A and B are shown apart, each in its own frame.
Chain A
Amino acid sequence: MTSAATVGDLVSQPYKYGFVTDIETEKIAKGLSEDVVRLISAKKEEPAFLLDFRLRAYRQWLQMEEPDWAAIGHPSIDYQNIIYYAAPKQQVKKASLDEVDPKLLETFEKLGIPLSEQKRLSNVAVDAVFDSVSIATTYKEKLAEHGVIFCSISEAVKDHAELIERYLGSVVPSNDNYFSALNSAVFSDGSFVFIPRGVTCPMDLSTYFRINSGDTGQFERTLIVAEEGASVSYLEGCTAPMFDTNQLHAAVVELIVLEDASIKYSTVQNWYAGDEKGVGGIYNFVTKRGHCRGDRSHISWTQVETGSAITWKYPSCVLQGADSVGEFYSVALTNNRQQADTGSKMIHVGPRTRSTIVSKGISAGHSSNSYRGLVQMGPKAVGARNYSQCDSMLIGDQAAANTYPYIRSQQPDASIEHEASTCRISADQLFYLQSRGIGFEEAVSMMVSGFCRDVFNQLPLEFAAEADKLLALKLEGSVG
């Protein structure tokens, strides 16, 4: 038994969420055109401003080119071979969960996200998105008592059009990049959260994204607004079935925080990663950005990325308000042929703004795991500070880890610190733990958890266990 091989076995556990729900689905024809954009908008009965937003984005997208600067490689994506809208056949969004197709409820139950009244996660409100539509949101009424709006973005377009018109695209303009333009043109569903002035959201909010169809892209759109003095903790989770074709997932998430407000946004991403030869899996091209508009506002991104064949994702903060704070805590685990190019951008605009980046990359198998981050100090960012720490852990000798930090400063009175390290789980460390009675699997898991501790500590309590479980799952296996 060589340790490297055994660690390899441990991280190569089968994907447990790879099942497909057999449900009748309404799909539109493959391909993308102005007509398709109009069709999606019509199906969702959208107001004119949103159709205009989509068409403008579509025309911008046509003029743009797919970016090629990331350390990832994949066969070119045929954007005409993707279905841009798929929904389980159930005509209208149901008022009560009792009317939701039991197959859908069952699917989410199987994923560990019970939606039915009796079994709901206590103290967490959940919006469940299946392919292109949101099928249920729990605890809506209870949240409404506090003035908190938590619903699918499609509903928000109907019921809170003025908020959507004011905020949608205000952080990530549709022409920000190739994938944000595509998303703006065809986005299907996602969550909308609005926390009014002075309100601390009484429970954690969570959206669970499930891709079910094999040839469908998922283009989710999430918008979270925290008014003056408001705060919320939000978590998203994602899984998909196993298909031998690649599916495109291009999401946009926008966060807006006003004076003294805070948003804590946590992600546990476990899209299907493809098999050990790199066949199948999700292409995950995501634009996530938060805007600290008010003074003393606060955004914290925490992500645990374990899935997807390709991850291209840089949750960022624009720190405009004086004394605003941006944080990014990330664990990215890649195995087999997975490729991740992920990191953060911290754009310091206002004075005395502060940001922290803690990135932990774990690469196993033949995977490639890159940190790419930008820290920018603008001319007015007097006294701004950044601290970045990028650590990589290699498992086996076939995996790659890279760090690409970009630093730009136009403000001499700003401080930027960057630390990076690379380590390997050595046979001697494993033997040491084993020689104290600790089993091989637990020894690996202890070391990986220890490596990720700084990030896990940032996850909301309810989800820290979930993340630990997820990593343990990835590391689960049989020893001797």
Chain B
Amino acid sequence: MIRPDAPVLLEICDLRASVEEQPILKGVNLTIRAGEIHAVMGRNGSGKSTLSKVLAGHPAYRVTAGSVHYRGEDLLALLPEQRARIGLFLGFQYPVEIPGVSNLEFLRVATNARRQEQGLEELDTFAFEDLVRERLKVVQMDPAFLERSVNEGFSGGEKKRNEILQMALLDPLVAILDETDSGLDIDALRIVAGGVNQLASAANATLLITHYQRLLDVITPDYVHVMAAGQILRTGGKELALELEESGYDWVDAELERLEASAPEGLAAAQASRTPAEVG
């Protein structure tokens, strides 16, 4: 849902980041307002997963330039846990297993950390169980998964459902979902996507990172961004994704070459002036 007067939740300006001294993000610009659903598409290695990790604060990535503001606050100055508490959520492409840590206890500690920031009362074990059982319905998850260790022995689909369950509990304002569709069969995809759709509201925003059109068949984006070589190359509406589906990514290489030739300073400069609102 696009409302030009909706408050800006996330504003990324000329973001550059590297991992092990290797530059990956080379000037990303993106503005996300409340109520919007954005999709970032691109090939493997285009930098889209890196973007999600940098936003969440992964210690392996070093920001070398640019800024990210979350509701006006300097996001990059915050620790990963602080970012989560104020409402930034990252749904992982490969959620890790944490043996020995009970999923239920983990969900409760995480939920209470977020609630404390929101000024809500801490939930005790019983109140939390009630809440979690209600939220399980969002992803049609078996309560038996609560009793197990975090993600341990979960199938790919179960891990992704557990991610969306966390999103349902943490009530984020900006949810970044990194390849949430990967490894899901069509039924699981529908359930996970159904969960994301239920949770989307006029107050929050979603950033989908994906390879394929099939996720966008079930979650309709307001904006589609095509990423290549660490930059957002093109922004359009949902039809851009369909176009990609048909013609593939070959045109991206051509456009990259053309832009680099015409704007030796890097295409960030050429692209910076374009905002989603203009193309939407």
**Would you give the shortest CB distance from B54 to chain A, in whole angstroms?**
12
In this complex, the member of A2, A429, A434 whose beta carbon has the largest number of chain B beta carbons within 10 angstroms is A434
Given A2-B59, A427-B59, A480-B79, A433-B106 contact (CB < 8 Å): yes
- Nearest chain B residue, comparing its CB with the CB of A479: B79
A431 adjacent to B113 (CB under 8 Å): no
What is the bound-complex CA distance between A440 and B105, given in angstroms? 16
Interface size on A, residues (CB 8 A): 28
What is the bound-complex CA distance between A479 and B79, given in angstroms? 10
In the complex, chain B residues whose CB is within 8 Å of the CB of A436: 81, 84, 106, 110, 113, 166, 170
A450 adjacent to B90 (CB under 8 Å): no
Given A438-B109, A453-B100, A427-B114 contact (CB < 8 Å): no
Give the residue of A423, A435, A437, A447 whose beta carbon is less than 8 angstroms from that of B101.
A447
A451 adjacent to B100 (CB under 8 Å): yes
Please report whether the interface of chain A is mostly helix, strand, loop or mixed according to DSSP.
Answer: helix
A434 adjacent to B100 (CB under 8 Å): no
Given A439-B81, A442-B109, A446-B106, A433-B98 contact (CB < 8 Å): yes
Interface size on B, residues (CB 8 A): 31
In the complex, chain A residues whose CB is within 8 Å of the CB of B105: 446
Is the C-beta of A3 less than 8 angstroms from some C-beta in chain B? yes
A446 adjacent to B56 (CB under 8 Å): no
Is the C-beta of B99 less than 8 angstroms from some C-beta in chain A? yes
In the complex, chain A residues whose CB is within 8 Å of the CB of B100: 447, 449-453
What is the bound-complex CA distance between A437 and B116, given in angstroms? 10
A1 adjacent to B59 (CB under 8 Å): yes
Given A427-B59, A436-B170, A450-B99 contact (CB < 8 Å): yes
Is the C-beta of B211 less than 8 angstroms from some C-beta in chain A? no
Is the C-beta of A66 less than 8 angstroms from some C-beta in chain B? no
Is the C-beta of A426 less than 8 angstroms from some C-beta in chain B? yes
Interface residue ranges of B188-240 to A (CB < 8 Å): none
Is the C-beta of B149 less than 8 angstroms from some C-beta in chain A? yes
Q: Contact mask A114-128 → B, CB, 8 Å, 1/0? A: 000000000000000
**Would you give the shortest CB distance from A385 to chain B, in whole angstroms?**
25
A440 adjacent to B96 (CB under 8 Å): no
Q: Contact mask B102-126 → A, CB, 8 Å, 1/0? A: 1001100110011001000000000
What is the bound-complex CA distance between A50 and B57, given in angstroms? 67
B96 adjacent to A428 (CB under 8 Å): yes
A438 adjacent to B113 (CB under 8 Å): yes
Given A2-B59, A428-B96, A434-B81 contact (CB < 8 Å): yes
What is the bound-complex CA distance between A437 and B60, given in angstroms? 18
Is the C-beta of B276 less than 8 angstroms from some C-beta in chain A? no
In the complex, chain B residues whose CB is within 8 Å of the CB of A3: 59
Is the C-beta of A49 less than 8 angstroms from some C-beta in chain B? no
Q: Contact mask B57-84 → A, CB, 8 Å, 1/0? A: 1111000000000000000000111011
In the complex, chain B residues whose CB is within 8 Å of the CB of A426: 96
Is the C-beta of B38 less than 8 angstroms from some C-beta in chain A? no
Given A437-B84, A446-B106, A431-B99 contact (CB < 8 Å): no
Q: Contact mask A202-237 → B, CB, 8 Å, 1/0? A: 000000000000000000000000000000000000
What is the bound-complex CA distance between A94 and B114, given in angstroms? 55
In the complex, chain A residues whose CB is within 8 Å of the CB of B60: 427
**Would you give the shortest CB distance from A87 to chain B, in whole angstroms?**
44
What is the bound-complex CA distance between A479 and B78, given in angstroms? 12
In the complex, chain A residues whose CB is within 8 Å of the CB of B101: 446-447, 450
Is the C-beta of B160 less than 8 angstroms from some C-beta in chain A? no
Q: Contact mask A446-468 → B, CB, 8 Å, 1/0? A: 11011111000000000000000
Is the C-beta of A404 less than 8 angstroms from some C-beta in chain B? no
- Nearest chain B residue, comparing its CB with the CB of A360: B100
In the complex, chain B residues whose CB is within 8 Å of the CB of A450: 98-102, 149
Given A3-B59, A437-B110, A438-B109, A432-B95 contact (CB < 8 Å): yes
Closest CB pairs A-B (n = 5): A450-B100, A437-B113, A436-B110, A437-B84, A450-B101
Other than the given A427-B60, A436-B81, 8 more pairs (CB < 8 A) read A432-B92, A434-B80, A434-B84, A435-B80, A439-B113, A450-B99, A450-B101, A450-B149
Between A and B, 29 residue pairs with Cβ closer than 8 Å are A1-B59, A2-B59, A3-B59, A423-B99, A427-B60, A429-B96, A431-B59, A432-B92, A432-B98, A433-B98, A434-B80, A434-B84, A435-B57, A435-B81, A435-B84, A436-B84, A436-B106, A436-B110, A437-B170, A438-B81, A438-B106, A438-B110, A440-B79, A446-B109, A447-B100, A450-B99, A450-B102, A453-B100, A479-B79
